[in-house]
Structure 1
């Protein structure tokens, strides 16, 4: 650690979704952030995706608000087109030298108009579209790019001077040279992402030789509205629609020959997603997915997989394709493979290779410059109990740079890295930041409504179904509409600037955006009009994506008419919008952490390190949770019990953590910044945030003779016996998916396969002559966990796969356990008499969730786990502000994942705890004191306990409803219940709602 006070800034290397999340969390917690990316714009791989699984959200739709938030954040400095050259110093004070390549365009002058690119005569392969289309020598990465600044490709530029002559802003500067940028940072986060595997290294699949063999990322661009075929699936060779498409899994993953033994974790799921979206975008497409093990291990992934097999009719063929050849006349592809020991040949019109992850090309150089270690596969080296720490103090890592992972885990980990980076420099919080300043708010009280309508194409998400130009023209005819236009992506940074300009130019005093959902985008647009001088509540949104183009995907005329109806209704409401005020509420800088397992203790300790008071509540008599039952870890030399003892000791010794053991939460009242909790022990305390880390439990089976024979035990029970040396016998059978992936519990429990490998390896190490059999459906040892699957096999563990719906049969015969299982590939039935039958029992939710969830007004999944706000981009947030989620309370996961998520919850919590005051929501219920008679009907109706009945302000002898604006969520339930009409809802007044109804009926009357 550097001497003296640390520097209050952080450098984040890599501007993908991971780097963006880290930057936003840190900037919102009081730190200056330098976000460095080697590309001209931020966004990373997620910006190239069409949709995301398992929700099928438009990737750009959900990413764009974060791009814009990052680009406009006053405490985030974007340094693009730059790479780290030198790093000196230590944690707390790193001195960093960056080399910034010349754009040949002045970013302060460039307006992003695109005239230069239109006139440029040079065309080259477009990297953003994976060379499936062309771009100009002067270009911007993509339409929604942040920063939206054009740059010149110096290798492609012919120096003709046309762009300079065409640029009215005078931004072209041919004499620009590479510059050196020097910054000081207290800590560093590495999030450079990954590179896709080069499929030419697998010549048997024909990539690079056969035009109709494409990589998965190329196919992703084909599916995108901004891709080469505008979202339609076409064959590259002839532009025809392919009827049969084969998806080949594990290209560059799980492959000893090429040296990539690890699993890339996401390929199975993104292939399912691409197959589903291909069918949606192009009628008649018949996808088939060739796979070894279907690794749908994430939250609700198995349900997505089952839907693909069932409703979507996608074929799944368990086979590793041997070769792909081409019919020279038709350009069709012939696949050779073996299914159930039978050689087969099948013709497809197109082949998509599911390419795996590999470390970025810059990985080795980056590790040398920053002096941290890489693992044997070239990824950043981390440990199970410190998953976001590199081997160098003060330098942290997040995302796919430490291991292949999906977006939710990447985002949670990014927040976790932000927490660790902030911990090093917490004493300097707030020393390098400046407050956001807005222009004075315009007084519109004397003005007639002047509404601007912005209709979004959203690529083909909306524009592929709804006739957007026709809807825009219709909007121009509506009362009080003074301006209407349509945009390809209304959420892009350049459109935000245009909205501000148009508000000023046309003197608009209300803005309506017709696009996707206000759940993700309303804050973005409200912030934009506030920057234009309007009150943020003079904004209205019509959801013509979810309610029109998605629900009426195959009915374009109905979707278009419905979009007109929704816009007409929204315009009617917008005309009556009034400015609302946000009141400030103080923040109590302390936290309640529910659950004393690995996630809860990690969260508590990290908060305490950053000088926040923590109340840690554990219902058991001792801390530790499920970790108390774990004795073996795949990572060699890691003793979970030793690590647990160390962690418990640190938590119990920390003066900022007050621990309550053997008690439960009885009641939680209050709101963000000001909660009040009462425990079963009688203790009460106040706090500003809540982190729910209440864990999960092992499923206790009701099958396979469990509970009827001592030789039958769950995986955790067996691990206890194995650790104590109490295991007898030489014959072991493990049965996977017990209580998971079933009708009763459709999802995967994620950890069971790897836990089986760990225990099987331990058996073989203790007794090399043991007979160990694993009966399974799919082995889901994703990421680097694949190596333990291989190690188990190398040590002699045998694997027998049974079919879905044909699980093993377990009986008693002559005092012995008998296991019958039919191997699916060969239809051979095996018979075992194990000395130990181990059931890989699934993970179940904590039953306390049914009690805690309603207290906090947070939802549960149908499996009983907590449901986060957004599966991809808000994986540790709840819709209830100030309440966060971590660990197995969210769903099954490994120790390192629980730790990452706990740290992520801490970072999100600190964005609140680091502030003295918060702004309360302006849309709340209000009481007309002249009408209210204090009947009290509204009080029990309010789920948020925001209403109290007290003395009337004008007559103390009368009763009166008083609303706590901090607690009020603006749901409107009380307004509808009031028999006297004394309650009204700001932002949703009776007049506004009636105006919408009248507008809806207006067209019906005609």
Structure 2
């Protein structure tokens, strides 16, 4: 591995081609190959099931041509022993193999593909270079006109497979693929999704689905009978039963089987070897209050290994597992730390510019549109450029190592990278400069992906010309770059947690167990939040009892100081050095802290329909749970009980799913049937969203005789008084007839709504979305961070979620907070604004536009001052200053003007 230079000669000379499993068998690879396009490290691997190690059965071509002697057929496996304090299992999943279900036709026609296969078709690094075409077309030129997605393949199905659970992600990825397929298609593309229930329950997922509907994606609620190659060779025939109960037939060019997630046999074997308990579906058995803990102390699990889930939840659980794994070994922190040796930084102040240009091909992502070799050749002609080269993937670790070596050997003192967005990749390349002994701010990026190949895909010649312009502008600016420096500020190693519900208490306990003092602030007079009003989790766990235990743990922990009946009055400072003033019932308190976690929760909305507030028989979920807890006689005596779902949710005014309601209602219905098997229980719903392992309780409810009636937004149930109870009338979608039911109790699954967090958001310099939920830095990759450094979020302040997900996110927030608290100092400065006091007129226009409150007025000097720790380098102040007194380091006027002049002189 150390010797492989990824030159590719071995694969070029290898005579053996096999199906490429990474591309789901849609393409071929050699017996010696790179596992996937952006593999880290970028090294070749030998498929020893094909290229046998026995000398008489291998050709040996790869070994003969390898210039670095990296191929060793006599190599043997080696064992290593690691001494660790905790173990985290993040084993992932495998996609369900539908080849065993004959009625789905997989393997019978090349245009019947799995969802993972379709991902590879759409990918720029896939078998067709990101071009949407029929897999059956050998020339890869014929584009599909109609594509169908078939949901719940390998999920929610005990008849054709043993996977009774819901895989959670399939509905959303089918919608995403349909939207992307239409974007990839040059001609109008007919996309249809066949489903039982659309489970788009995540943050903004419903809004995305509705957008897909408006843009022409068809959603067909049905049960598909069979998928077979058409007898007339006109594509693929799909037979299905529509909502009227009639058999329909429709032909498609491609059928995508939305395959579910399952645990591999190897993962099951490992779990059994470690004596870890597994539950239905062979997922690691966890509980709601310890969602990443296994049955074996010291071993934790996260991601799909604990149950089907999407990327954001997997990322949360990963950080959560990191927190859980270190809580009881925190005393060992830093005892085995190895300090990174950073090369001494060269002083380039008096050197003439020697610019290196590195242009990324990025597979077909850039190279499929732009003539990259032509851009490289042009870069070599630009003033100041002494080196230019093309890289397949400039962001890969191997290329970065090579770049650092080139910078040293060629004595480059400025670097231009022409690749994708600096927003995502600039920190990566700055680290490369550091490793090469250059100041990291001597880097300039030309965004030839987002600004060029992506938006000019249909005009490759002009896109190439634009890429040259962008590179020339970057080179012109780079000649004027200067080294910028950062300073170190001490970190206050304590935390503030706002909100004393389950999420807030979990975060506080996790931080305290790792040795960091915590100030826990709750505006109510009691800890526990909404959980104090709940009954049981869907797995039957006693919520009030668990909350009581958690409150005792918080109150008894010496590192946690709790402030009840307190609100935040004022906040100053920045990451590592916050200063917060609390207003408590007794007095005002000032707290110094390095980080803050916001866990302010959410509230149950009070309905304005279905006779709520006008009839004693109508109540909300929390009110119903209160009666379950108290064994209310009214509930015990009820013969007929109904639940109405989506009350106030998934409507134009509130277009989001409250996520927990379906499971909550079904669990309550099951509890009623357990207490009174003769009771009649009805649930009126739009889509049942018992995602993941929650699907099992949905099946249990049906087996117990609980009746489900579907309704749509245009024909909502009508509720009228009927004696001591109410009457519910609805049009049954199967019978196509009105149904009238008298019930003693009606429980409304009222939406969960965000608290009014505007004052808190303003204090912490964070934002909320249009629905009022606190807005994370990145929905998938940074789901517990805010854009404001040092501030994190968790629980229902982020979005409605059940207890297990709130606890996982709370531990994740604690884990992310510790990345700051565990440090003694932080770096500030670099790309920040500076003020020339001689030019400043004190107009304060910069103060008005600064979104981070980083600028203050010096009343004595009548000029402004900039706090480098708060400045995020957005440049708003420099743009607003009429006298050019403010400049943004790395983007000063001289540098910007050089770029503009370079572009105008094209």
Cα deviation code 1:909-961 (max 9, x no counterpart): 1111111111114111223344446665544554433334448xxxxx74554
* Alignment partners' CA distance in 2, 1:215 and 1:883: 41
Out of 147, 157, 167, the position equivalent to 1:255 is 157
* Alignment partners' CA distance in 2, 1:699 and 1:472: 60
Name the counterpart of 2:616. Answer: 710
Matches within 5 A, 1:442-461: 442-461=346-365
* Residues 238, 927 of structure 1: alpha-carbon distance in 2 compared, 3 angstrom cutoff: closer
* Alignment partners' CA distance in 1, 2:61 and 2:367: 33
* Alignment partners' CA distance in 2, 1:576 and 1:521: 22
Cα deviation code 1:885-910 (max 9, x no counterpart): 11111101110000011111111111
* Alignment partners' CA distance in 1, 2:857 and 2:41: 52
Name the counterpart of 1:360. Answer: 264
Name the counterpart of 1:148. Answer: 42
> Relative to structure 2, which stretch is displaced further, 980-989 or 388-397?
980-989
Q: Does the CA contact (< 8 Å) of 1:195 and 1:357 recur in 2?
A: yes
CA shift for structure 1 position 620: 0.7
Name the counterpart of 1:128. Answer: 22
- SS of the aligned residue for 1:514 comes to strand
Cα deviation code 1:178-208 (max 9, x no counterpart): 1111111111000111111121222211112
* Alignment partners' CA distance in 1, 2:230 and 2:882: 76
* Residues 557, 385 of structure 1: alpha-carbon distance in 2 compared, 3 angstrom cutoff: same
* Alignment partners' CA distance in 1, 2:600 and 2:361: 43
| 1:310 lines up with 2:214 in the alignment | yes
| 1:211 lines up with 2:103 in the alignment | no
Cα deviation code 1:486-525 (max 9, x no counterpart): 4343222222123223323443222222332222211111
CA shift for structure 1 position 980: 4.4
- SS of the aligned residue for 1:354 comes to strand
Cα deviation code 1:724-749 (max 9, x no counterpart): 22225322221111111110011111
Name the counterpart of 1:242. Answer: 144
Could you say what the CA RMSD is over the residues aligned between the two structures, in angstroms? Answer: 2.1
Q: Does the CA contact (< 8 Å) of 1:802 and 1:822 recur in 2?
A: yes
* Alignment partners' CA distance in 2, 1:266 and 1:981: 51
| 1:817 lines up with 2:721 in the alignment | no
| 1:168 lines up with 2:77 in the alignment | no
Matches within 5 A, 1:687-766: 687-726=593-632, 727=635, 728-766=637-675
Out of 81, 85, 88, the position equivalent to 1:189 is 88
> Relative to structure 2, which stretch is displaced further, 500-509 or 662-671?
500-509
| 1:856 lines up with 2:750 in the alignment | no
Name the counterpart of 1:75. Answer: none
* Alignment partners' CA distance in 1, 2:516 and 2:725: 58
CA shift for structure 1 position 248: 0.9
* Alignment partners' CA distance in 2, 1:759 and 1:922: 56
CA shift for structure 1 position 269: 0.9
Q: Does the CA contact (< 8 Å) of 2:35 and 2:45 recur in 1?
A: no
Q: Does the CA contact (< 8 Å) of 2:155 and 2:259 recur in 1?
A: yes
Matches within 5 A, 1:382-393: 382-393=286-297
- SS of the aligned residue for 1:605 comes to helix
Residue segments in structure 2 that go unaligned for 5+ positions in a row: 52-56
Name the counterpart of 1:101. Answer: none
* Alignment partners' CA distance in 1, 2:827 and 2:647: 48
> Relative to structure 2, which stretch is displaced further, 826-835 or 777-786?
826-835
CA shift for structure 1 position 576: 1.2
* Residues 823, 448 of structure 1: alpha-carbon distance in 2 compared, 3 angstrom cutoff: farther
| 1:867 lines up with 2:775 in the alignment | yes
> Relative to structure 2, which stretch is displaced further, 586-595 or 759-768?
759-768
Q: TM-score, with normalisation over the residues of structure 2?
A: 0.94
* Alignment partners' CA distance in 2, 1:120 and 1:497: 27
| 1:633 lines up with 2:537 in the alignment | yes
Name the counterpart of 1:380. Answer: 284
* Alignment partners' CA distance in 2, 1:218 and 1:944: 45
* Alignment partners' CA distance in 2, 1:266 and 1:459: 28
* Alignment partners' CA distance in 2, 1:811 and 1:570: 70
Name the counterpart of 1:399. Answer: 303
> Relative to structure 2, which stretch is displaced further, 731-740 or 560-569?
560-569
> Relative to structure 2, which stretch is displaced further, 549-558 or 960-969?
549-558
Name the counterpart of 1:838. Answer: 747
| 1:913 lines up with 2:796 in the alignment | no
Q: Does the CA contact (< 8 Å) of 1:542 and 1:570 recur in 2?
A: yes
Q: Does the CA contact (< 8 Å) of 2:576 and 2:594 recur in 1?
A: yes
Name the counterpart of 1:678. Answer: 581
* Residues 960, 761 of structure 1: alpha-carbon distance in 2 compared, 3 angstrom cutoff: same
- SS of the aligned residue for 1:172 comes to coil
Name the counterpart of 1:805. Answer: 714
- How many correspondences in the alignment? 889
* Alignment partners' CA distance in 2, 1:550 and 1:861: 28
- SS of the aligned residue for 1:185 comes to coil
* Alignment partners' CA distance in 1, 2:47 and 2:851: 58
Name the counterpart of 2:131. Answer: 232
Name the counterpart of 1:892. Answer: 800
Residue segments in structure 1 that go unaligned for 5+ positions in a row: 1-106, 952-956
Out of 552, 568, 571, the position equivalent to 1:665 is 568
- SS of the aligned residue for 2:362 comes to coil
- SS of the aligned residue for 2:905 comes to helix
Cα deviation code 1:272-293 (max 9, x no counterpart): 1112222222333322111100
Cα deviation code 1:738-763 (max 9, x no counterpart): 11111001111111100011111111
> Relative to structure 2, which stretch is displaced further, 466-475 or 850-859?
466-475
Matches within 5 A, 1:6-405: 107-157=1-51, 158-239=57-138, 240-257=142-159, 258-284=161-187, 285-311=189-215, 313-327=216-230, 330=233, 332-340=235-243, 341-405=245-309
Cα deviation code 1:366-393 (max 9, x no counterpart): 1232221111321111111000000011
Q: TM-score, with normalisation over the residues of structure 1?
A: 0.85
Name the counterpart of 1:567. Answer: 471
Out of 492, 513, 526, the position equivalent to 2:417 is 513
* Alignment partners' CA distance in 2, 1:325 and 1:937: 68
* Residues 563, 808 of structure 1: alpha-carbon distance in 2 compared, 3 angstrom cutoff: farther
Name the counterpart of 2:54. Answer: none
| 1:775 lines up with 2:679 in the alignment | no
CA shift for structure 1 position 215: 1.2
* Alignment partners' CA distance in 2, 1:633 and 1:976: 53
* Alignment partners' CA distance in 1, 2:667 and 2:592: 43
* Alignment partners' CA distance in 1, 2:309 and 2:719: 37
Q: Does the CA contact (< 8 Å) of 2:106 and 2:112 recur in 1?
A: yes
Name the counterpart of 2:439. Answer: 535
Cα deviation code 1:745-804 (max 9, x no counterpart): 111111110001111111111222222111111100000000111111111111111124
* Residues 488, 306 of structure 1: alpha-carbon distance in 2 compared, 3 angstrom cutoff: farther
Matches within 5 A, 1:483-498: 483-498=387-402
Q: Does the CA contact (< 8 Å) of 2:534 and 2:543 recur in 1?
A: yes
* Alignment partners' CA distance in 2, 1:233 and 1:946: 48
- SS of the aligned residue for 2:813 comes to helix
* Alignment partners' CA distance in 1, 2:462 and 2:648: 45
* Residues 173, 324 of structure 1: alpha-carbon distance in 2 compared, 3 angstrom cutoff: same
* Residues 764, 816 of structure 1: alpha-carbon distance in 2 compared, 3 angstrom cutoff: closer
CA shift for structure 1 position 809: 2.4
Q: Does the CA contact (< 8 Å) of 1:438 and 1:530 recur in 2?
A: yes
* Alignment partners' CA distance in 2, 1:461 and 1:706: 55
